Amino acid sequence: LLEHEASQGTISGVGMRMTDAGGAEAVLSGTHNIHKIGGTRISAGGRTFKMPLKISSETPIKYNGTSYSGTFIFKNSANGFMVSNVTDLEEYLRGVIKAEMDPRWPFEALKAQVILARTFAVNAGGKHGDDDLCDSWHCQVYKGISAQDDIADSAVRETSGLIMKWKERP
């Protein structure tokens, strides 16, 4: 969950496929303002869509200037819209680790942080309703592609799939 009560923002990317709740589709490239225009309607790139609006692309998408991999879903909320970034767990961790811990610290400590972050993410399921996690200190700081780091990425790869368990539960 990147936003929970936004009324406007910007999206940028190449070949962004937008699909709304009614099945309407559009493909946009470039930078576009996105804003709620009433009820469950949202405007992007001069077009009107019915939320939830799914945006996918084979390349990263920027939301308000920050790049993310995966898919975006814009859902209706009482005072605007919610923005969710849907990505797989290992990719998510690549956007978390550097924001949570300096990758220059000892590598084994970094690997331990990855395992703890993965365990937290697995255990957090639905912490924010349909969304498992938010992007702030409340859950784990998530900064998308801007937080990716070669050393942290190595720690994610070397611990792939590992979580901590107690009595068979994360």
Residue 80: partners with Cβ closer than 8 Å, 6 or more residues away: 5, 6, 7, 8, 36
Bridge partners, residue 63, by sequence: 11, 66
Extract the tokens encoding 57: 């692309």
Query: Each residue's pLDDT tens digit in the chain (170 positions)?
Result: 999 899 999 999 999 999 999 999 999 999 999 999 989 999 998 999 999 999 999 899 999 999 999 999 999 998 899 999 999 999 999 999 999 999 999 999 999 999 999 999 999 877 778 888 889 888 999 999 999 999 999 999 999 999 999 999 99
Instruction: Give the E-state strand segments of the chain in sequence order.
Output: 3-6, 8-19, 25-38, 41-44, 47-50, 53-56, 61-63, 66-68, 71-77, 80-86
pTM exceeds 0.85: yes
Q: At what angle do helices 107-123 and 150-158 cross, to 10 degrees?
A: 70
User: Which residue in 25, 20, 78, 27 sits closest to 11, CA to CA?
Assistant: 27
Question: Which pLDDT tens digit goes with each residue over 69-115?
Answer: 999 999 999 889 999 999 999 999 999 999 999 999 999 999 999 99
